[in-house]
Amino acid sequence: MVILASSSPRRRELLAELGVAFEVIKPDVDETQQVGEPPIAYVRRLSQAKAHAVQARLAASQVVLAADTVVILAADTIGIDEAGEILGKPADAQEAFAMLTRLRSRTHLVVTAFTLLSDTLALTQHVVTRVTMRAYSDEEIAAYVASGDPFDKAGSYAIQHPVFAPVAHLEGSYNNVVGLPTEAVACALRCAGVLA
């Protein structure tokens, strides 16, 4: 049994697809980015903090999996630089519209860090996917925002949304953009003896 330290429905679905039995315990951590903290260091720190916060609440030793995802709009689209800006979950419709407008026809990075803790393993990894958005119209953005879908998503979008379908191209893991890089997580779970 794995303890998933995340309340994300997308992470629950992806972990279930791996055939892993799990229980959800929502972590309670401060998700504020520290001053000067680079995006990848930030997301790695959050995944570790979430895993350790949940592990501390358990009476018995269990395998804990925590993850966090950020969308990074980099000044240099070839890679992540110090000027990379994290696009979090939008606070309101106006912010969602603005984020989607900024992302339109541009490439950005989706980084998910995950931490796996067990008696014998303490592992943190991150996976980077380069995502290029299509040239959707302002009317498409408005309809998508009105649907309410963007409000619990980093960067204000779901790659898997069947109507808006915002992505033109990606390089890397599709599931990473959904919220959990299942290929890398499965490998880590095999190392922990959870998957055969």
Q: Which helix (H) or strand (E) holds 101?
A: helix 93-103
Helix (H, G, I), strand (E, B) or coil at 92: coil
Compute, in degrees rounded to 10, the torsion defined by CA atoms 25, 28, 42, 128: 20
DSSP H or E stretch at residue 115: strand 107-117
Q: Bridge partners of 149?
A: none
Q: Which residues of the chain are under the pLDDT cut of 70?
A: 74-83
Listed as own residue / partner, the contacts of 92-98 with beta carbons closer than 8 Å and 24 or more positions apart are: 93/145, 93/146, 95/156, 96/145, 96/150, 96/151, 96/156, 97/141, 97/142, 97/145
pLDDT at 120: 85
**Catalytic option among 68, 92, 138, 149:** 68
**What pLDDT does residue 57 have?**
93
Contact between residue 188 and residue 123 where contact means Cβ atoms under 8 Å apart: yes
Q: Which two three-digit tokens encode residue 109?
A: 């990075």
Active site residue 76: no
pLDDT of residue 11: 95
Whole-number pLDDT of residue 75? 54
Structural domains of the chain ordered from first start: 2-191 (3.90.950.10)
Percent with pLDDT over 90 in the chain: 81
Position 158 scores a pLDDT of 95
pLDDT of residue 74: 67
Q: What is the pLDDT of residue 84?
A: 77
